[in-house]
Homo-oligomer: A and B are copies of this chain.
């Protein structure tokens, strides 16, 4: 049996995992696909660097074109990261008929449609299971597992760093800044944590998930993004008292073919399955019209979990090679993208206000909600022990984002409202 030859772009954490699995599970892989899978060439930045695994030096190269242009190579596994340069390698490889497996969420969120179109043109596979939620096979679940259903909601904890921070804040009553420092020391957060904590990483993953779930090309710019850097210890304490956890959720919703996608800190009722997803774990909750509630849980990152998804894609490409059906992934997106307006985006909201502690204030506040037809599920007023102000905690019934924004604008011009401390979407 002729071996299938793989070129590996990148030998960092995930690349190392890919080599380990392809070598360590070779016998199992051969039993499934019927021929050896060989890593032929590996692109590295520095050939002479000491590495965690042993790769014979004649397989290493610092020249990407030795892989991209190599007629011996059937499949390219891209785990080097980066966007523009990486894209140029992938497009060139596709034009030479090579199949692609990538873990690159940035690339797929920004240039997915272009890359997939190029792949189709050349009869090539492009698979990217590892780009979202590491070891959880959520992409094939959306494409194949729910092919028969109409998915109306996807809620994801798709960033382990922020889930670790929020979990620690919740479990230890700690401050955001302290937990972030700790996460950086442990290697769970980067020195520049912006992409994680401001929700950009999650937004890229939600772009990919919502595109597959709704079968429409959602763009990164369509995602409304808010991170966790303003979540306070008090927010989490209040949430817990009311029976909620604060989670950074990616939320994609569809109603009558109108779609919305956002990333935002959200108060999730403790009884909801996604509320108990803790630490660096990821989970994706999927609601389908027919299937109802489902959830998929697992490690969102890490060498071997992510490599598991990469190599599962590699197995799929090789099976397609054997069957001669590469590049035939039919009907991934066929719906027109119609985005919801703020009038159409509805959810429950939690608000924490600091107000003047005098007669008639609560009446004026609740009147503002009534004016914009936002009805209230619960209202608690309590003295704020540290100030002369009172605190008002409000949970609304389902209300449109537009209406809530109008209420917030009204508060700006009300002198009795000292500050709007927090506004969170509520789920569950």
Binding site for B on A (CB under 8 A): 17, 20-21, 25, 28-29, 31-34, 129, 135-137, 140-141, 144-150, 215, 273, 276, 281, 288-299, 302, 304-305, 307-312, 314-316, 319, 322-325, 328, 330-331, 334-335
Contact of A316 among B144, B293, B323, B328 (CB under 8 A): B144
Report how far A129 CA is from B276 CA in the complex, Å. Answer: 28
Report how far A273 CA is from B282 CA in the complex, Å. Answer: 12
Report how far A310 CA is from B291 CA in the complex, Å. Answer: 11
Residue of B nearest to A20 (CB): B290
Which of A21, A291, A293, A316 has the largest number of chain B CB atoms within 10 A? Answer: A291
Residue of B nearest to A332 (CB): B32
Q: Are B316 and A297 in contact (CB under 8 A)?
A: no
Q: Are A295 and B294 in contact (CB under 8 A)?
A: no
Which of A17, A147, A148, A324 has the largest number of chain B CB atoms within 10 A? Answer: A148
Q: Are A312 and B148 in contact (CB under 8 A)?
A: yes
Q: Are B135 and A144 in contact (CB under 8 A)?
A: no
Chain B residues within an 8 Å CB radius of A330: 32-34, 319, 322
Report how far A273 CA is from B25 CA in the complex, Å. Answer: 28
How far apart are A92's CB and chain B's nearest CB, in angstroms? 26
Report how far A147 CA is from B29 CA in the complex, Å. Answer: 8
Q: Are B299 and A293 in contact (CB under 8 A)?
A: yes
Chain B residues within an 8 Å CB radius of A295: 295-298
Chain B residues within an 8 Å CB radius of A315: 144, 147-148
Contact of A144 among B140, B297, B325 (CB under 8 A): B140
How far apart are A218's CB and chain B's nearest CB, in angstroms? 17
Report how far A176 CA is from B22 CA in the complex, Å. Answer: 49
Chain B residues within an 8 Å CB radius of A298: 291-295
Residue of B nearest to A286 (CB): B298
- When A297-B297, A307-B290 are in contact, do A147 and B312 touch as well, CB less than 8 Å? yes
User: Which 10 pairs between the two chains have the least Cβ-Cβ distance?
Assistant: A137-B145, A148-B311, A294-B298, A32-B331, A135-B291, A290-B304, A31-B334, A291-B308, A295-B297, A147-B315
Chain B residues within an 8 Å CB radius of A314: 148
Q: Are A290 and B319 in contact (CB under 8 A)?
A: no
Report how far A148 CA is from B315 CA in the complex, Å. Answer: 7
Residue of B nearest to A292 (CB): B299
Q: Are B297 and A291 in contact (CB under 8 A)?
A: no
Report how far A179 CA is from B368 CA in the complex, Å. Answer: 48
Report how far A291 CA is from B297 CA in the complex, Å. Answer: 11
Q: Are A294 and B291 in contact (CB under 8 A)?
A: no
Chain B residues within an 8 Å CB radius of A323: 323, 325, 328
Residue of B nearest to A31 (CB): B334
Chain B residues within an 8 Å CB radius of A29: 147-148
Residue of B nearest to A333 (CB): B31
Q: Are B137 and A141 in contact (CB under 8 A)?
A: yes
Q: Are B145 and A140 in contact (CB under 8 A)?
A: yes
Identify 20 new A-B residue pairs, CB closer than 8 A, beyond the known A137-B145, A137-B146.
Answer: A21-B149, A25-B148, A25-B150, A31-B331, A31-B334, A137-B141, A140-B144, A144-B312, A144-B316, A145-B312, A147-B311, A147-B316, A148-B309, A149-B308, A290-B307, A291-B299, A294-B296, A294-B297, A295-B297, A323-B328
- When A34-B331, A215-B31 are in contact, do A21 and B144 touch as well, CB less than 8 Å? no
Q: Are B146 and A308 in contact (CB under 8 A)?
A: yes
Chain B residues within an 8 Å CB radius of A289: 304
Chain B residues within an 8 Å CB radius of A309: 145, 148, 291
How far apart are A232's CB and chain B's nearest CB, in angstroms? 27
Report how far A281 CA is from B285 CA in the complex, Å. Answer: 14
Q: Are B319 and A305 in contact (CB under 8 A)?
A: no
How far apart are A301's CB and chain B's nearest CB, in angstroms? 11
Q: Are B149 and A25 in contact (CB under 8 A)?
A: yes
How far apart are A9's CB and chain B's nearest CB, in angstroms? 18
Chain B residues within an 8 Å CB radius of A141: 137, 140-141, 145
Chain B residues within an 8 Å CB radius of A290: 17, 20-21, 25, 135, 304-305, 307-308
